[in-house]
A and B are shown apart, each in its own frame.
Chain A
Amino acid sequence: MTQSMLKTQSLPYCKGCGHDLIAKHSTKALEELGFAPLDVIMVTDIGCHGIIDKCMNTHTVHGLHGRSAALGAGIFFGLEEHDNKKVVVFIGDGGATIGLQHIMEAARLNLDITVVVHNNFLYGMTGGQTSGLTPHGFRTTTSFQGNPFDGYDICKLTHTAGARYVSRVLGIGDISADMKKAFDQKGFSLVEVMEICPSYGVKLNPKRKLKEIVESAGKEVGEWVNEDAAFKQQQGEKVENLLDKIPRVPMSFDRSLNTSKSLVLSGSAGEGVQLAANLLAKAAMLTGLHVTQKGSYPVTVGVGFSTAEVNLSPEDIHFHGISVPDMVLITSQDGLNHNKSRISQMTSGKLFIDSSLELPETGAEVIRHDFRGVGARNAAIHAILYFAKETGLVTQEAIYKALDLEGKSDKIPLDKIKKAMAG
């Protein structure tokens, strides 16, 4: 004989509680659909609905208040097609309020899970407070005059978000056919079962009937369907090894530096500063040096300054911070503004600066050159090639080789730059 989903028909709910009805008719529906208990992963959270776990023969996962839809989504993501499991999420109206975003996200992605909202119009376990799904006018322990606001229409929201199937039912009589329809969908389904909490709701709203409350709140009973296909895993292109594809930089030239040097290259966003710094670092590596490179720019990466810090050393570099650099290369006003303070602190070293810029105060030797003459986009690369020519700390040949390693040689107007340097 097939094992029943429920361990017992005697469930731990108050007399007249709709949760009892939902549990019995949900499990009946799942059984009728042919699911064995261990085909079902029941995800619950905090609230009276969550105490059903101990009565279930299914797998049970009991999480945080309002998070069961997200937790159930995570389980769904981990399932394989052949697992043939059904993820069922039980949540209260309070939990649905807390975790509304999780429900929306699961509906938007059309994940193949079913969420059953136990809407008994208030937070029952915590003392009968108003939730986001409490109907307008319904009295709770925190709104004795009746809820002054409309509750969320969770059905409309999830339907609009993209759920495959949504229904609202009154928690009266045999609702197993309604539950069955929801469980049998391929894609996200949600059933909002309307009920009145017998402990708080009935006492505070005597003589009111469920149907009348639901109707007067404008929450029509019914079902809403989208024809969109269920979620399908779409992963981008994967690499088997993150270390394979990064360019190797073998020692190819004689070392040109015997002491550590720190360098700052700065210009404007979009003018190739970070690429130039990367080429300079790799050129140094080609001569056997150790390097570090880091960039800084405003949060709006497309405008303003772009600064790169590069350390070059014949030894292993541990600390890579640069306070007062040995050398600074400035190709634009943005770059100058961003580095004025540390340029002014330089008492030695070299400052390479575009000839269009006003000279800042500095103790460094100043070398002016028209870096921007080859076009703003190439100013930074022009600067490092000029720097190589003037200082010999890295060679221009090493920079050309670094360009080759990056596959960018044909994207830089090297002839134009060489001509500008010669001039």
Chain B
Amino acid sequence: MHEKNNTNRVLIDGSRLIIESLARSGADAFIGYPIPPANLLYLYGSQRMDLMLSAPDEITTLQWMAGLSATGKLPVTATSFPGFALMIESVNMAYMMELPMVIVLVQRLGPATGTATCGAQGDLLLLNGTMSGGHPLPVLATSSFDDCWEMAAKASEVAIKLRTPVVLLTSKEEVMTQKSFDLAKLDDIQQTEKKWYSKTCCEYKPYKAGKDLVPDFLPVNQGNHQVRINASTHDQDGILQHSNKEAMDNTKRLEEKVRVRMDDYLFYDLDEEAKAETLVIAYGITAAAARDAVARMRASGKNVSLLTPKTLLPLPGQYAEIIKNYKQVVIAEESINNQLGSLLFGQQMPGNITFVGKMGKMIAPEEIIKEVRS
């Protein structure tokens, strides 16, 4: 981040930062349906992306995106739970086909239609279970305007480099609230290069991967090599198979690819304080309240550290390692069931970990402070 510049102060929302960042980092198409609270992303996507298509529904959205991706584009959409629910089978398809795309998931209060204009953090467990077979779907989260910029660019990079759908997880209050912001703080974003198979001499196998576990991509709109793209179980040639070894190895590779390669995309903030025995953990919108809570507690003499996870899935092992160093851990999340805690510890929640949750309203800093002091 650069020094503040007086001439670049603006009143801005996170949606604008996300779309601009995605466009600069390589996204070139926005496809979608304007579902609240993702509608500002839709508006900005229509203005900024080279190609904008308004789809009649979210199944069509994902199918069109997959088709575009097969021609070498990096398509983006933005949605909330009702739309994402419709997309799930097609997200699995794109994952199996290894087609890059970014889905900005703006959380709102559910279940079902819930409250369209009310924020929430209730979709993490859904994302953890999105892929049949338990394959990990990469999920990065925003916890500030800086993240709207940085994590959006990383989402494009992961999508392109790992050839996979990526979810950028955010929520209503993060993308619709306007805040004063200094644009001079923003780092430059480099467009992620789309590296394609370039040999003309040899046979191209669309699902043959090297040590990096990611097969070389070729779009279907070229004429040098035959490209086969397949959502069903397939071999390295992209031909449908029942369960032979080559096909099973390919399906296993998809799991390993994301799990191993996401080590390169581990993002979190750990604001450690010496002598602190208490750790507050919060991601997304609740990270803002947690920052205030921690600052106030420190001002009153309490030693406390703050962990803000940004890489949420696959869940990095580092978070559990950090937690081990603290006697008291408070997880704050705008849900009623501690979804991050469930991911970390399942049904075996350690006794020193407590939870601050809420539904229908943002968690306030005082609520986190109260839990720490209880």
Select one of A58, A236, A282, A291 contacting B179, CB under 8 A.
A291
Q: A64-B93, A248-B10 are in contact. Are A292 and B179 (CB under 8 A)?
A: yes
Q: Are A54 and B240 in contact (CB under 8 A)?
A: yes
- Least CB separation from A78: chain B residue: B71
In the complex, are the beta carbons of A59 and B226 less than 8 A apart? yes
Interface residues of A in 305-340 (CB under 8 A from B): 317-321, 323
Task: Known contacts A70-B60, A242-B48; decide if A63 and B93 are in contact (CB<8 Å).
Answer: yes
B166 CB–A CB distance under 8 Å = no
Please state if B47 and A318 are interface contacts (CB–CB under 8 Å): no
CB-CB contacts below 8 Å: A45-84 with B = 46, 50-51, 53-54, 57-64, 67, 70-80, 83
The answer to whether residues A238 and B48 also contact, given A249-B10, A320-B288 and a CB cut-off of 8 A, is yes
A166 within 8 A of B: no
Within 8 Å of chain A (Cβ to Cβ): is B114? no
B223 within 8 A of partner (CB): yes
Binds B, one of A36-44, A220-228, A348-356, A377-385: A36-44
Within 8 A of A (CB), among B1-31: 6-12, 16, 19-20, 23, 29
* CB contact under 8 A between A77 and B68, given known A63-B231, A70-B60, A293-B177: yes
Q: A246-B10, A247-B10 are in contact. Are A241 and B226 (CB under 8 A)?
A: no
Q: Which of B287-307 contact A (CB under 8 A)?
A: 288-289, 291-292
Q: Given A246-B16, A247-B10, A294-B178, does the pair A77, B230 have CB atoms closer than 8 Å?
A: no
Chain B, range 95-146, C-beta contacts under 8 Å to A: 97, 116-117, 144
CB distance from B295 to the nearest CB of A (A): 8
Contact B180 A235 (CB under 8 A): no
Q: Is A255 an interface residue (CB 8 A)?
A: no
Tell me if B64 is interfacial: C-beta within 8 Å of chain A. yes
Residues from 102 to 159 in A contacting B, C-beta threshold 8 Å: 102, 105
A290 proximal to B (CB < 8 A) = yes
A74 to B70, Cβ gap below 8 A? yes
* Cβ contact within 8 Å between A53 and B73: no
Stretch at the interface among B50-58, B207-215, B310-318: B50-58
Report if A242-B44 is in contact (Cβ < 8 Å); known contacts: A64-B90, A249-B180, A292-B178.
yes
B158 at the interface (CB under 8 A from A): no
Q: Is residue B362 contacting chain A, with contact meaning CB distance below 8 A?
A: yes
A71 to B99, CA, bound (A): 12
A101 pairs with B229, CB closer than 8 A: no
CB–CB B9/A250 < 8 A: yes
Residue B223 contacts which of A36, A54, A73, A293 (CB distance < 8 angstroms)?
A36
B178:A63 contact, CB within 8 angstroms = no
Is A251 an interface residue when CB atoms closer than 8 A count as contact?
A: yes
A299 within 8 A of B: yes
Contact A249 B67 (CB under 8 A): no
Contacting residues, chain A, for B232 (C-beta < 8 A): 46, 62
* Smallest CB gap from A289: residue in B: B180
Per-residue contact bits, chain B 318-361, to A (CB 8 Å; 1 contact, 0 not): 00000000000000000000000000000000000000000001
B239 nearest in chain A by CB position: A54
Per-residue CB proximity of B234-268 to A under 8 Å, as 1/0? 10001110000000000000000000000000000
Residue numbers in B under 8 Å from A239 (CB-CB): 47-48
**Chain A residues whose C-beta falls within 8 Å of the C-beta of B178 in the assembled complex:** 278, 281, 292-294
Q: How many chain-B residues does the 8 Å CB contact rule pick out?
A: 76
**Complex: chain B residue closest to A39, CB-CB:** B223
Complex contacts, B71 vs chain A, CB 8 Å: 75, 78-79
B240:A319 contact, CB within 8 angstroms: no
User: In the complex, A76 Cα to B173 Cα: how many Å?
Assistant: 36
The 8 Å CB contact of B9, one of A235, A248, A323, is A248
In the assembled complex, how far is the CB of residue B5 from the closest CB belonging to chain A, in whole angstroms? 10
Cβ A285 vs Cβ B20 within 8 A: no
Q: Are A80 and B9 in contact (CB under 8 A)?
A: no
Whether B276 sits at the interface, judged by CB under 8 Å, is: no
| A190–chain B nearest beta-carbon distance, Å | 17
Contacts A291-B180, A294-B177 given; indicate if A38 touches B63 (C-beta within 8 A).
no
- In angstroms, Cα B223 to Cα A237, docked, is 33
Let me know if B179 and A64 touch, CB within 8 A: no
Q: Which residues of B contact A258 (CB under 8 A)?
A: none
CB distance B173 to A294 under 8 Å?
A: yes
Instruction: Give the Cβ gap from B341 to chain A, nearest Cβ, in Å.
Output: 21
Q: Which residue of chain B is the closest to A51 with respect to CB atoms?
A: B240
Chain A nearest CB from B326 CB (Å) reads: 22
B214-225 vs A, CB cutoff 8 Å, 1 = contact: the mask equals: 000001111111
Q: How far is the CB of A48 from chain B (nearest CB, A)?
A: 12
CA distance A363 to B257 in the complex (A): 61
The answer, yes or no, to whether A1 is at the interface (CB within 8 Å) is: no
Q: Which of B29, B52, B66 has the most CB of A within 10 A?
A: B66
A-B contact pairs, 10 of them (CB 8 A): A41-B220, A46-B232, A74-B65, A77-B64, A78-B73, A238-B48, A247-B10, A249-B10, A319-B288, A321-B173
Chain A residues in the interface with B (C-beta under 8 A): 36-39, 41, 46, 50-51, 53-54, 57-64, 67, 70-80, 83, 85, 101-102, 105, 233, 235-239, 241-243, 246-251, 278, 281-282, 285, 289-294, 296, 299, 317-321, 323
Contacts A61-B229, A293-B177, A318-B291 known; 17 new A-B pairs at CB < 8 A = A38-B224, A60-B226, A60-B227, A61-B70, A63-B97, A64-B93, A74-B63, A77-B29, A78-B72, A85-B220, A238-B47, A238-B50, A239-B47, A249-B11, A318-B144, A319-B291, A321-B289
